[in-house]
Amino acid sequence: MTKPRELIPFVDLSWQHDQIQDEMQAALTAVLSRGDFVLGQAVKELEAAFAAASGAQHGVGVGCGTDAIALGLSACGIGEGDEVLLPANTFVATLIGILRSGATPIFVDCDRETALIDLTAAEAAITPKTRAIVPVHLYGQMVSPSGLKALAERHNLLIFEDAAQAHLAQREGVTAGSIGMAAAFSFYPSKNLGAIGDGGMLLTQEALVAQTTRSLRNYGAVRKYFHTEPQGTNSRLDTLQASVLGLKLPYLREWNQARNRIAQHYDERLASLREFGIIPMRNDSGTGHVYHLYVVRITADCPLDRTALQLALEEQQIQSGIHYPVPCHLQPAFQSLGYQAGDFPMSEALSQEILSLPMFPGMTLEQADRVIDAIAQAMNSGANLPASSTVLSVK
């Protein structure tokens, strides 16, 4: 009887937790002993440590990444009557955060080779009402810091980074979260730095922005029972979550390097498949790319369509994903913004091509080889080629 193949998960969180199980238990026990469950010691320590690691002056822990965007933009003075540029091919949380700040989102198309916001298209979308740009450091790669700063300086724009997928990513010698006035991070469990629940953080270089965000996250109170911000809400990073994140932070660079190594191996093995329509997203950041996701394009030249390839991988016990199948401007909930199909052709085309392959720091090269071999087998089958003329050897 043939032994079933071992599952290659899309993300394996158990691996990293196994590495630090005893330390994690001790950290959680320490919080339980102190009883400082809300805005406790571990929150303050994480805020300082993550800000320092990212090159920012201040950190403010909040309930989730979406809140980091919404509260952070408000703290930066962005609100009703202001237009904010963002890529159409981001996760919907970016859009929701902008809407919650009261600002008007203005979508921009992306670069098809990197999936990052097209800064030339962003410049063309600027109007007298444009106050800010929210570059999304998508899949673990930063938008060009020099390009962003040049655009912002030409048009007096505030840069507010969406770095939810880019913990400690670097480009041009700059770390994600340190480019503009502020940046938002998510600590959703599958992120490069992930909690065991939800959480987020605002990073900023401005003391006033940090102070205002601290007030907004805590019912608009600058101190207990003294409320100065009518838009205040309850969005406080749990101390238990902060304790786990603080424990993981010293391992993050090593884990990011492991992701990058797996990505390089994928790149090398996939090189011979480019002419058959499977093209990895371009890395313009070298080892600064932290590969929250490893994404390839399944183009029209491929003998298999994306759905068929996903099914073929599933048959080989390999999970995959699509990030993201519907651009924000085509989501039913936001049709009132007035956009329609055809407005952002690169984003729309990418949404039909992209496929995310398994990626996590504990992944082995052997597992990566299995993924590529399974793709090759599916390609050969899809092209209906004899074994003697395969498009890629699976040996």
**Pairwise CA distance, residues 142 & 182, whole Å:** 15
Residue 17, token pair as written in the block: 């937790």
**Pairwise CA distance, residues 299 & 390, whole Å:** 19
Strand ranges inside 291-391, DSSP E: 294-298, 354-357
Answer whether 377's CB lies under 8 Å from 312's CB: yes
**Pairwise CA distance, residues 383 & 185, whole Å:** 42
Count Cβ atoms below 10 Å from residue 322 Cβ, excluding itself.
16
Mean pLDDT of the chain: 95
Parse the chain into domains and list their residue ranges.
13-250, 252-389
Q: Would you give the distance in Å from CA 234 to the centre of its chain?
A: 24
Residue 136, amino acid: V
pLDDT of residue 394: 41
Average pLDDT of span 133-160: 98
Answer whether 119's CB lies under 8 Å from 113's CB: no
What is the tens place of the pLDDT at every residue in 61-99? 999 999 999 999 999 999 999 999 999 999 999 999 999
pLDDT of residue 3: 61
**Pairwise CA distance, residues 61 & 65, whole Å:** 10
pLDDT of residue 383: 59
**Pairwise CA distance, residues 340 & 9, whole Å:** 35
Specify the pTM.
Answer: 0.96
> Is the backbone peptide bond immediately before 188 cis, with ω within 30 degrees of 0?
no
Phi and psi (nearest 5°) for 136? -100, 120
Whether 191 is a known active-site residue: answer: yes
Answer whether 184's CB lies under 8 Å from 167's CB: no
| List 191, 224, 248, 395, catalytic entry | 191
What is the tens place of the pLDDT at every residue in 10-26? 999 999 999 999 999 99
**Pairwise CA distance, residues 303 & 308, whole Å:** 10
Strand ranges inside 19-156, DSSP E: 58-62, 83-87, 104-108, 130-133
DSSP 89: T
Contacts of 264 (CB under 8 A, 6+ apart): none
Percentage of residues in the chain having pLDDT higher than 70: 96
Fold annotation for 252-389: Aspartate Aminotransferase, domain 1 (3.90.1150)
**Pairwise CA distance, residues 293 & 140, whole Å:** 7
* β-strand pairing of 83-87 with 221-223: unpaired
Phi and psi (nearest 5°) for 276? -105, 15
Residue 131, token pair as written in the block: 């106050």
Residue 85, token pair as written in the block: 């540029």
pLDDT of residue 5: 86
Average pLDDT of span 100-110: 98
What is the tens place of the pLDDT at every residue in 307-323? 999 999 999 999 999 99
Average pLDDT of span 333-354: 98
> In CATH, which of 3.40.640.10, 3.40.50.300, 3.30.43.10, 3.20.20.140 is domain 13-250?
3.40.640.10
